Structures are given as structure tokens and as C-alpha cells.
Amino acid sequence: MRFTIAMLFVCGIAGLAFADEQPIDLKKAPGVDKVEGNCAACHSLDYVQMNSPFLNPAGWDATVTKMIKMFGAPINDDDAKVIGDYLKANYGG
């Protein structure tokens, strides 16, 4: 019972934190649909904009690979290439 109450509390607080979150508009370019469809399934798209000053093309390739191999993102090879190409072309430092 305590666990249920604690989870309701945590989820309620988390809901308040996301209530003010603004939609993220990524650059409109080929591949944006794959990024929005695959990446946003697990995390906010603001990570793309937040990390872009720090990641060069090799860093984006490593990030896409990490999301698939370490975190288990269900992204096929074709989509991974499109996502990587989009990130490198539009946010590739």
C-alpha cells in the first residue's frame, strides 16, 4: 500500500514537472520524421538541441549506436542511418 501511495505521489510530481514542457520543433529536413518517431518514443526531443553544441558527427553516430545497443532502442539499421544523417547534418557541431 505504501508503495502504491509513493508511486502516485512521484507520478503526480512528475506530471507537474512535464506540465510546463513546451513542444520541441526540430529543424525540418529529410529524416526529421524518423527522429521524432523513434527518439521521442523514449525521451524528450530537447536532448537533440541540448546536446548539439557538444556533439560532432562522430559523437552523433556514437549516440545513436548507444541508444540502440546499450538502451535497447528498437531502431532498425535503415532508420538508424537516416537518424544519424539527420542529426549530423542539422545538429552536428
Predicted local distance difference test score (pLDDT) of residue 60: 97
Helices 57-69, 77-91: crossing angle, 10 deg rounding: 150
Domain ranges in the chain are 25-91
- Is 0.95 surpassed by the pTM of this model? no
At how many degrees (to 10) do helices 32-39 and 77-91 cross? 110
Low-confidence ranges of the chain (pLDDT < 50): 16
Predicted local distance difference test score (pLDDT) of residue 28: 97
37-58 pLDDT, tens per residue?
999 999 999 999 999 999 999 9
CATH class of 25-91: mainly alpha
pLDDT of residue 92: 84
- Least Cα distance to 47 among 38, 77, 70 occurs for 38
Q: How far is CA 17 from CA 20, 22, 56, 77, in A?
A: 7, 11, 30, 34
